[in-house]
A and B are shown apart, each in its own frame.
Chain A
Amino acid sequence: MYESQYIDPAVWEACKAGDKGAYADIYKLYYPRLYNYGCKLTDNVVLIEDSIQEIFVRFWMNRERMAAIREFRSYLFVSFRHCLLKLLSQRKQEDLLDDEQYPFALEISTEQQQLAKEEQHEQLQALKSAMEKLTPRQKEAIFFRFYENMEYEEIAGILQISVKATYKLMARAIDVLRDAYHTMPLVPAVMTLATLAVALGSLQLSIAILGTSSGFRI
């Protein structure tokens, strides 16, 4: 996914001491990731760019006060999210965006996955459509966990909910996805009809679950 997920502590220290080369390294590491995340919240790349610019300038000006490298990633995502949502709500003025209603466009990618069997392809399609039925917050949690490789504590900080609530949010999201996806990697495809029936059954099940769960959100 990324060549290096984390900032080298030496680079971090140099940056804090005022080394702009080190700062540039950090910028290059996080710019694509914030950009990608921003694209899930809006199509407006100008606002995404502006937000990234703003939070990095703020980071540089306050770098000496930054506590630990561990907290840096969530700091970036938290301030980026805040800044972007603010700009978006200013643009749309009064209506929408009470932080609960922003869309989050997370999509399963099928192109990169090498699929040996036809059934796997169908499973993936089912997963794809189940994905669309998750709430924006569920999608966002899934994104941070399975794309950004974040700890539950970090995700909780970004979404501004408790760690316990984050676990719940994730578990519920996984349940929805699991219902749409039936795994049988070790079982050879002998009972194609039977598995298809199961898959269909589970699809209906997932819709039923969504119907009840959409009423409450964390």
Chain B
Amino acid sequence: MSATSATAPPPRRPAEPRGPAATRRADRRGVELCLLVAAVGICVYGYAEVGLARTGAVPKDAAAYGGGLGGLALLAHAAVRAGARYADPLLLPIAVLLNGLGLVLIYRLDLEPSLGPRAAPAQLVWSGTGVGLFIVTVLALRDHRVLARYAYVSVTAALVLLVAPIAFPSVNGARIWIRAAGFSIQPGEFAKVLLAVFFAGYLSANRAALAYAGRRVLGIDRLQLPTGRVLGPVLAVWLASVGVLVLERDLGTSLLFFCLFVVMLYVATGRTGWIAVGLLLAAGGAAAVSANEPHVHQRVQDWLHPFASIAAGDGPSQIAQSLFAFGSGGALGAGLGQGSSALIGFAAKSDFVLATAGEELGLAGLCGLLGLYALLVARGFAAALATRDPFGRLLAVGLASILALQVFVITGGVMDLIPMTGMAMPFLAQGGSSVVTNWLIVAVLIRISDRARRPEPAPAAVPAAERAAR
């Protein structure tokens, strides 16, 4: 899916002629608008469907809900028109559709009294905040390459954000929350983007050194270690962030950072040796952590034996409940509002929100959702291939990989493919920090794709040395 899309459009050459011909080039904002209308329509339909299934009537606030989502979509669209005319027309509609479907699922789960207070109104406010941040980013960040200058600021901020929750009490075994004045945010979510910016900035500046210097390992040419002087800072930052996360017991995010680091290092240097080193480190780290952390050990046991708690007479575990939900959905699902995914209990609206989609929309609906994520990731990689500067390319690869890795870790976790790690499904799951961060990711991707597809070349921005390096 994403592979074929990612390889589709060849990057535009900057040698394209200037003048009237260039300005006539289609910006495809009309396509985006049509897709946005369709996306909002699907979400409003889903919302009405929940009401019809549960009470036999369309919810009274269906129009207000549709208006709110449509208004947000239109504002974002206007910002893209004004600030990023040539951006990829698929990114924004997919984000709106996923965000809207997430709101529908959370609204639907709000109807189950056993799952606690309503979460959809707060999620709508957070979505609005996310779209606001999206608009500000698209309008204020005229050129994504500016971010490269803030690589070290980013990494400092990321580390501060990662360390901050240690000062706050742990929630459900993980210290990843900051609670103040009635708000609770997960700073690790924002740290993802900041670390991607840092990795992109640092790696694009030191590519040559990382790729060509250093000792050979085992006498094989391809397995070459870079010099410690170059690699040191990256490794240190990465170790620090992973260490902090292990202390906070947020292993999903830890795994995500690790994979992100390996992928970006590989793309920057082209050295397969990094993958080997990465896999070795990952295997060693996973073994050590699962042996020494009872919290993680339990997760691994749940993964290997999801039904053990039933045999032990303690009732089904969350993973077992999640599997029951997916299984009962079958091919076509029970229909929105008609499933029993509330049995999952705690975290049904956040980590396990996908189980509700699987039960009520079935495999068909799940394929649709995964297809949307695949398309979003593919458009991210397409932007990476189309962009002309190494920083932008690495950043786009990093951001697209963050999305893909999150989808894999969560979907694999709730369906017992890999051990469950607490993480939010992008746009779909309840969680303010997550939805705001994902809007930020989409904003930066739009920024990069706009720069990549913009007709007038910007020779000043692409130095000859960089072009030659490509």
State whether these chains interact: no
Q: Chain A interface (Cβ within 8 Å of chain B)?
A: none
Q: Chain B interface (Cβ within 8 Å of chain A)?
A: none
